[in-house]
Amino acid sequence: MGLGELLVGHGDRRGHGALITRARTYEVVSRIVFTGRKRWFTELVRLSGARPGDRVLDVGSGSGYLAGLAARAVTPGGSVLGVDASEPMVRYSAENTDATACRFEVGLAQDLPCADGEFDVVLSSLMLHHLPYDQRVPALQEMRRVLRPGGRLLLADFRPPRSGLGRRVIGALSARSMRDNPVSRIADQVRDAGFTVDAEGEVGRWLHYVSATA
């Protein structure tokens, strides 16, 4: 059994993508794989431009780690909503994220439970590869819908190893969606969703990011 199957469990691959159900295991694995993640994820928050008073949405918020860092960046006066399709992940986030400016809800990236123009910043990390390829632009269009005009998007996803050996290791340990994740296409998908791409690059060893404006 690969790591991806271990985290997803049985019967949780649905039309909208793979749901991670083992929240505590996911958090432990994240700490191991993303050694130094506080530095990397703090840099993602910085790249998003989130500042005190901003309303931030974290799409695919997972264990709540990035949302918690964002909450510190928007204090005082700001707030962070984390949305994830997995109920176990949302429960874990609510119980283990101590930032008072954070709250979490169950919801799909393609059908966000949010009003038009509700947020100043949308963040999303390590979520896009979980979606079927044809659902990625619709999810990005939803992120644009909930951003105010001129609002900012910061999207980060897993960059597969460039070596053949590294890709085989990732393929053995996790899902094909991580081994073959086409991060070079993300910027074009963001443009297809109606955003203006401002920058793209890499943070740390495994993260490719795109920043854009609505």
49 touches 123 (CB < 8 A): no
pLDDT at 179 over 60: no
Please give the share of the chain, as a percent, with pLDDT higher than 90.
62
Each residue's pLDDT tens digit, 95-114? 999 888 999 999 999 999 99
CA pair distance 37, 45, nearest whole angstrom: 12
CA dihedral sign, ordered 95, 100, 104, 109: negative
List, in order, residues 6 or more apart from 42 with CB less than 8 Å away: 69
Q: Are 83 and 122 in contact (CB under 8 A)?
A: no
Per CATH, the architecture of 3-213 is what? 3-Layer(aba) Sandwich (3.40)
User: Rounded to an integer, what distance in angstroms lies between the CA atom of residue 120 and that of residue 137?
Assistant: 20
CA 137, distance to chain mean position in Å, is 15
pLDDT band at 165 (very low <50, low <70, confident <90, very high): very low
Domain ranges of the chain: 3-213
- pLDDT one-digit tens code per residue, 60-84: 999 999 999 999 999 999 999 999 9
